[in-house]
Amino acid sequence: MAKYYDASHTFGEYLLLPNFSSSEHVPDAVCLNTPLVKYARGETPALELKAPLASAVMQAVSDHALAIALARCGGISFIFVSQPIDEQAAMVSEVKRFKAGFVVSDSNITPDTTLGDVLTLAEKTGHTTMPVTDDGTPYGKLLGILTSRDYRVSRVELTTPVRDLMTPFEMLVTGQEGVSLTEANDLIWQHKLNCLPVIDQNGRLRSLVFRKDYEQSKANPRELTDGNKRLMVGAGINTRDYRERVPALVEAGVDIMVVDSSVGFTQWQRDALEFVKTEYNGDVKIGGGNIVDREGFRFLADCGADFVKVGIGGGSICITREQKGIGRGQATALIEVAAARDEYYEETGVYIPICSDGGIAQDYHIILALAMGADFVMMGRYFARFDESPSRRTVVNGAYVKEYWAEGTNRARNWQRYDIGGESRLVFEEGVEGYVPYAGALKDNVELTLSKIVATMCSCGALSIDELHRNARLTLVSPATIRESSAHSIILGEKDTAHTL
């Protein structure tokens, strides 16, 4: 006879009870840092988020543009895997090149390079500041700098050599190898520079420091960066071509990966995780999923997953439960897996973060997920609404919307995520296509969401996500309570009806 479990519940069936809030429980005192990868008791996680948000491994959500925008707000994107390996790796590289502290130049020229070649290189890389070195490499002897301010295309012949246009070395302000980032930025401000070349004692170029990176970092205090001040980015992999895909992503500089699978309690998932852990001696971080119970968590923990993704069938465009009868209410799944995570921590001294993936329809569901034990949440619909998502903006019924489709649709052509179907189509789909209301810029929306999370944490007497895990009090609510929770018994004004998501 099949084993029976009690009824499962969704986020919308719960509310938080407020705890005592002291004068210390104010928004500025709340820390949203949260572990991204596993760590041993008494140690610090190798990777942490500064905001508990991740964007889903989806074509309609996570490309390089959204990854840049989300990292600037403290979260992380996982670049979608349903694309050729070289294209996914290029997206990762785009994020890693976007900003840094000390940048190794990838747009280098020689004095003999022509203006025509400079313009071609600028179009390819998007860079208009180019070091001039004796051999045209990023570590050659620095002879000068060429920027777009040094020429006017309409008045200079394309055959003009760079030596006639560049600012020569003797007129440059440079930093010496070993200079700190703070000292480099002080030189930039002192001399009103846009770029500071850093050279070694032999005059060879080592790196560049840009004013814009400093200004952008100040404007984004939660910015999620690696040890070299580059934005952090994740990527999805599948259980088919990981032996070729993983090395390309690692070479591109990916910070973390996740196995993108509708069901993670499988031999294929174990093989992929073990490959990464063995091939890279545990240095490359990778999460696993998705699972919905204690058994699934223990399986992925034993396979070496650095974090575990929880949720099957709860996404707004996912119909796995409808098609296959597989899944579980997101709240119940998360509560059970969080308990298993805590048991594992007590047994082994290793804490494995869990990511709640799916089932979030309102901002307050995020705080419920965190209160139930999630270390961070992964969302698709939420991020698909923004300017930075890769899907097309259009008008439906007089309102701006953005296209949104599941990885389980034929449109996504993501055969390798689902171990069914042939070379041209899925036998049946586990997702749908639709639209989400257009919501504008990512930063504006994320800042609003984080302010709600912080305010709720203060009401729950928690100044950190770990403290929320330990102290949160949750209550199941009745259908009548759910109805009571929204505006009711009045006629809503136009302002309140126009912005319903």
3-state secondary structure of 365: helix
- Best CA proximity match to 290, nearest among 267, 313, 272: 313
**Beta-carbon neighbour count of residue 263 at 10 Å?**
19
Chain centroid to Cα 473, Å, comes to: 29
- Best CA proximity match to 261, nearest among 469, 81, 429: 81
Give the whole-angstrom CA distance, residue 215 versus residue 195: 12
3-state secondary structure of 152: coil
Catalytic residue among 318, 355, 458, 460: 318
Give the whole-angstrom CA distance, residue 319 versus residue 326: 10
| Encoded tokens for 405 | 């489709």
**Annotation says 72 is catalytic:** no
**Annotation says 381 is catalytic:** no
Give the whole-angstrom CA distance, residue 375 versus residue 495: 35
Residue 409, C-beta contacts closer than 8 angstroms, at least 6 positions apart = 317, 426, 429, 431, 432, 433
3-state secondary structure of 32: coil
Residue 290: is the preceding peptide bond cis (ω within 30°)? Answer: yes
Taking CA atoms, 370 is separated from 16, 23, 333, 362, 474, in Å, by 11, 23, 13, 14, 12
Exposure string for 471-487, b = 16+ CB within 10 A, e = fewer: ebeeeebeeeeeeeeee
Q: Which helix (H) or strand (E) holds 175?
A: strand 175-176
- Which amino acid, 358? G
**Beta-carbon neighbour count of residue 101 at 10 Å?**
21
Catalytic residue among 97, 328, 385, 417: 417
Give the ranges where 220-353 is alpha helix by DSSP (H): 242-252, 267-279, 294-302, 320-324, 330-348
- Best CA proximity match to 474, nearest among 374, 378, 341, 353: 374
Give the whole-angstrom CA distance, residue 393 versus residue 443: 18
Give the ranges where 112-230 is alpha helix by DSSP (H): 115-125, 181-190, 211-219
Q: Which residues are catalytic?
A: 318, 417
